[in-house]
Structure formats: structure tokens, C-alpha cells
């Protein structure tokens, strides 16, 4: 950015949230002057490094939303998320973004009796919440194994509401599209401070009627936001391209994304070039919400991920791993993603996706565009609009609590694998970590 500037809307952060907001503003308010500021390059953060699940998952379960906002509002939120999965694919097709989009759904394997009981409970709860039977289906062992031939499969669940994507291709393609639509994107432009009507950078000050904070895991670096979210790390590994013989033994013929029913989350996908990209939680939270490049790479966590994947899929015992990476995601104190616009100050925000941001960020961008443009649409009345999460505890309580919770979930998984019974420890800790 050559110096100070003026705009109608300035967006801080060129990840999915910022770019989808710019994209939809360019459609609903084509005369709006939009500036996007990014400290690195578009997609540098979680948007370019995630597991590639464009899903209908929202951090707060439908049943919990129903208790808080009512059944009708919760179902509208669920339907909006399901539509978002399809709309991302439609936008890629319309704009010529080759994001390797394939809507194959998600299979979650149940590999212990406790996991199977949770699967049965999740399907029952989904139906009781008013969702359709096809939205979440209970699988027997044979059907689950036909999706993915994991070790010790007892059953599982399947939802059609997920697409596998190549995240970096999507976010870089989206950056090109918004620039072609007249949005000013300034990379390598760190933002030092946000206030009503102004964004301060080393290159100058941008003045705008609306300032959008779209910084997700990097939010604590902004003055005044040190406790807004906790940046937690999720790391990934990828295999070499697998042979067709191996794929025939594994499954995932429709590029289903996959996981299993353990408490400490894992996630994977079959890439277009025939690899398995696999990730999970388990990296520690760093004191003071620190986000540093060296935290992206943890050899112990990478080794644990490779061991976990080989245990889940013994067919990979002799397969080489060629890539490893990671990065921070944003977790609000109540695990509740939100989007909003304070009209009195002109400050807007979206985020707190807890790792479910590929699809949710698209819905956030559409919603922010409608809020900023003053459009009275169904989106601006969804239950996450205007939600405010309370701040995280100060240190060292934050560091102690989050890391103790991560260790507790690891211990709960180990307990269930031995006993086959649902872990009491997990039931106690889960609500503290956003469980529902």
C-alpha cells in the first residue's frame, strides 16, 4: 500500500472470511470501494493450510442452538450451512476456480463400543432436532467399512453435507477473482491497530465507514483483543500418492472426508492427486496466545499423527509421508462462532470457527455483505449474528485450563479403547471445551 487511503469498507485479513466478504460485497454493492489488507499473502493462515473440509459443521451443535435460540432458528442455521456447501462449489464453477471440489460427504467411523454408542446418540439427536434422516445416517460395520476400510470398524455415521477441497487453490483463486472485480488487495501490509473508522498500518492509515476484523487465529495480536479468542494449533501430514491397488483396498471412492469417533479430533481426505492428507488436534496451546512460525511444526505431533493414521489404516504401514505442516485456528471462550456489525462504531467481525471455517466463512462473508449493504435478508437474522463470546481467562489460567483439557481428552480416548465404556472424564471436561 503506497500510503494513506480512503474506502467505504476496509477488511483486515485476506483469508476466507475477508475474501468472501469482499466477493459478496462486490456482487450486492458493486459501487462500494473495498480495500483488503493482509500482513502476509492471501491465504497465509488457516485458510490456506487446513484439512480441506468444506462442510456444514458449525461449532455449536443444532440441539444446543435449539436450546439457546429455539428450534426454528437452529434449523435455519443448519439449512444455511448445508446450502453453503453447495454454494461454494457453484461459485468455484461460475468463477473458474479449480479448487478440486468434490462433494462426497463425510464418514465418521466408530471403532470402540463407546464410539458406536455416541454415533447412535448423534443420529437420534439429529432426528429429534428436526433434521432429515438423510442429513446424518447411522451405518453398520459393513457399510462404514465400504466407505473407508479402517481397522476395527463397528459402525459409524455418514452425512452428504461436505466437499473435499484444496484449500490453497480455493483461497488463491478467490483472491484473483476479487481483484478482477475491483477490490483493492494489499498483501505484505501488517495492520497494527484497528479503531472506529480507521485501520493503522506501517504504510499509512486507511479510513473507512466500516472496518471488518477477519483475522481469526491472529486476532490476539491486535491491541485490545488479547483474550478475544485462543489460537490453538492443528497440525497435518500427507502421504505420498497411493497406488490404485491401495485405494481399492481403502475406499473413499467419492473422496469422502473422514474421521472417527474419538474425543481428540482427527480429520482426513483423499486428495485429487491420490494422497491422504491427515490432521488432528493435540498440539499444545502456547502461553499468552502466542502465534509464532516455529509453532507450525512440532515433530512429536507429526510423529503421533503418522502413527495414528497407520493405526487407523494398517494398509498404509509401508507408505511414505512426504509433507507436514500446521497452523493456528481460533477458539472463542464458548466455542460459538459469530458474525456481526456494530452500526454505531462501524466495526464488523466474523470468526471463531474452531476449525470449521471453510464453509462457515462463506456464510459469514455473505452475511457481512448483507449487513454492510443494509439488506434485509434471511441471513442477517440467523442466530449467530450479533453473538458476543465472553473473553478468555487471563494467563496463566488460560494456559493451564486449555492444556489440561487437551490432556484429559487424550486420556479419555485411551480409557475408552481399553474399557469400551464411555469416559466419565470426557463427560466432565467436554462442556468446558465446547462440547455439547
Model-level pTM greater than 0.85? yes
Same domain membership, residue 79 and residue 6: yes
CATH code for the domain of 35: 3.50.50.60
Same domain membership, residue 82 and residue 177: yes
Which class for 293: exposed (0-12), middle (13-18), buried (19 or more C-beta within 10 A)? exposed
* H or E stretch at 172: helix 167-180
Same domain membership, residue 405 and residue 327: yes
- Degrees, nearest 5: CA angle 111-337-157: 20
Mean predicted confidence (pLDDT) in 57-73? 96
Same domain membership, residue 246 and residue 304: yes
Same domain membership, residue 276 and residue 367: no
Q: Is the pLDDT of residue 319 over 60?
A: yes
In a domain, 376, yes or no: yes
In this prediction, residue 59 carries a pLDDT of 95
Convert the pLDDT of each residue in 344-395 to its tens digit: 999 999 999 999 999 999 999 999 999 999 999 999 999 999 999 999 999 9
Same domain membership, residue 207 and residue 350: yes
In a domain, 205, yes or no: yes
Query: How much of the chain, in percent, has pLDDT values that exceed 70?
Result: 97
Same domain membership, residue 97 and residue 217: yes
Same domain membership, residue 420 and residue 297: yes
Same domain membership, residue 311 and residue 181: no
Tally of domains within the chain: 2
- CB of 268 within 8 A of CB of 279? yes
Mean predicted confidence (pLDDT) in 179-207? 96
CA dist 213 → 48, 155, 283, 348 (Å) = 18, 42, 26, 6
In a domain, 117, yes or no: no
Q: Quick one: which of 342, 213, 231 has its CA closest to 289?
A: 231
Residue 30 CB: number of other CB atoms within 10 A?
9
Segments forming the whole domain that contains residue 304: 230-331+393-436
Produce one character per residue of 104-140: b if its CB has 16 or more CB atoms within 10 Å, e if not. bbbbbbbbbebbbbbbeebbebbeebebeeebbbbbe
In this prediction, residue 435 carries a pLDDT of 45
Q: How confident is the model at residue 154 (pLDDT cuts 50, 70, 90)?
A: very high
Same domain membership, residue 402 and residue 323: yes
Same domain membership, residue 195 and residue 286: no
Q: Which residues contact 420 (CB under 8 A, 6 or more apart)?
A: 112, 113, 114
Rg (CA), the chain: 21
Convert the pLDDT of each residue in 400-433 to its tens digit: 999 998 888 888 888 888 888 887 777 766 655 5
In a domain, 80, yes or no: yes
In this prediction, residue 206 carries a pLDDT of 97
Q: Which residues contact 392 (CB under 8 A, 6 or more apart)?
A: 227, 228, 229, 230, 289, 333, 398
Mean predicted confidence (pLDDT) in 275-287? 95
In a domain, 36, yes or no: yes
In a domain, 432, yes or no: yes
In a domain, 252, yes or no: yes
In a domain, 151, yes or no: no
Mean predicted confidence (pLDDT) in 317-338? 97
Mean predicted confidence (pLDDT) in 80-109? 98
Same domain membership, residue 64 and residue 167: yes
Which class for 223: exposed (0-12), middle (13-18), buried (19 or more C-beta within 10 A)? exposed
Q: Is the pLDDT of residue 436 over 50?
A: no
CATH code for the domain of 403: 3.30.9
Amino acid at each position: 500500500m503506497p500510503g494513506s487511503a480512503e474506502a467505504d469498507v476496509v477488511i483486515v485479513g485476506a483469508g476466507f472470511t475477508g475474501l468472501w466478504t469482499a466477493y459478496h460485497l462486490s456482487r450486492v454493492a458493486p459501487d462500494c470501494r473495498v480495500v483488503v489488507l493482509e500482513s502476509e499473502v492471501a491465504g497465509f493462515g488457516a485458510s490456506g493450510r487446513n484439512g480441506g473440509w468444506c462442510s456444514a459443521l458449525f461449532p455449536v451443535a443444532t440441539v444446543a442452538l435449539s436450546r439457546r435460540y429455539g428450534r426454528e432458528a437452529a434449523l435455519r442455521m443448519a439449512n444455511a450451512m448445508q446450502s453453503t456447501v453447495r454454494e461454494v462449489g457453484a461459485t468455484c464453477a461460475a468463477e473458474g476456480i479449480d479448487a478440486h471440489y468434490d462433494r462426497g460427504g463425510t464418514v465418521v467411523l466408530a471403532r470402540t463400543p463407546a464410539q458406536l454408542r455416541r454415533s447412535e446418540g448423534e443420529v437420534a439427536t439429529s432426528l429429534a432436532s428436526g433434521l432429515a434422516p438423510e442429513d446424518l445416517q447411522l451405518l453398520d460395520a459393513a457399510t462404514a467399512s465400504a466407505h473407508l476400510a479402517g481397522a476395527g470398524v463397528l459402525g459409524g455415521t455418514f452425512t452428504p453435507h461436505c466437499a473435499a477441497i484444496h484449500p490453497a487453490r480455493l483461497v488463491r483463486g478467490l483472491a484473483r477473482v476479487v481483484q478482477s472485480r475491483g477490490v483493492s488487495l494489499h498483501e505484505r501490509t501488517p495492520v497494527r491497530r484497528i479503531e472506529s473508522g480507521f485501520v493503522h498500518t506501517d504504510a499509512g492509515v486507511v479510513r473507512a465507514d466500516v472496518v471488518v476484523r477477519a483475522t481469526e487465529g491472529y486476532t490476539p495480536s491486535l491491541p485490545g483483543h488479547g483474550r478475544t479468542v485462543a489460537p490453538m494449533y492443528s497440525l497435518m501430514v500427507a502421504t505420498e500418492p497411493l497406488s490404485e491397488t491401495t485405494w481399492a483396498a481403502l475406499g473413499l471412492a467419492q473422496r469422502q472426508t473422514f474421521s472417527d469417533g474419538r474425543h481428540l479430533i482427527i480429520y482426513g481426505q483423499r486428495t485429487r492427486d491420490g494422497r491422504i492428507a491427515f490432521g488432528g488436534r493435540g498440539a499444545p496451546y502456547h502461553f499468552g496466545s502466542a502465534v509464532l512460525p516455529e509453532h507450525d511444526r512440532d515433530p512429536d505431533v507429526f510423529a503421533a499423527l503418522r502413527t495414528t493414521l497407520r493405526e487407523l489404516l494398517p494398509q498404509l504401514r509401508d507408505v511414505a509421508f512426504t509433507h507436514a505442516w500446521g497452523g493456528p485456528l481460533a477458539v472463542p471462550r464458548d466455542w460459538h462462532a459469530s458474525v456481526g456489525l456494530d452500526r454505531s462504531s462501524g466495526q464488523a467481525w466474523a470468526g471463531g470457527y474452531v476449525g470449521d471455517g471453510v464453509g462457515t466463512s462463506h456464510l459469514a462473508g455473505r452475511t457481512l455483505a448483507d449487513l454492510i449493504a443494509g439488506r434485509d435478508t434471511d441471513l442477517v437474522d440467523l442466530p449467530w449474528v450479533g453473538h458476543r463470546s465472553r473473553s478468555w481467562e487471563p494467563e496463566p489460567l488460560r494456559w493451564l485450563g486449555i492444556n489440561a483439557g487437551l490432556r484429559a481428552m487424550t486420556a479419555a480416548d485411551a480409557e475408552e479403547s481399553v474399557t469400551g465404556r464411555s469416559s466419565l472424564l470426557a463427560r466432565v471436561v467436554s462442556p468446558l471445551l465446547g462440547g455439547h
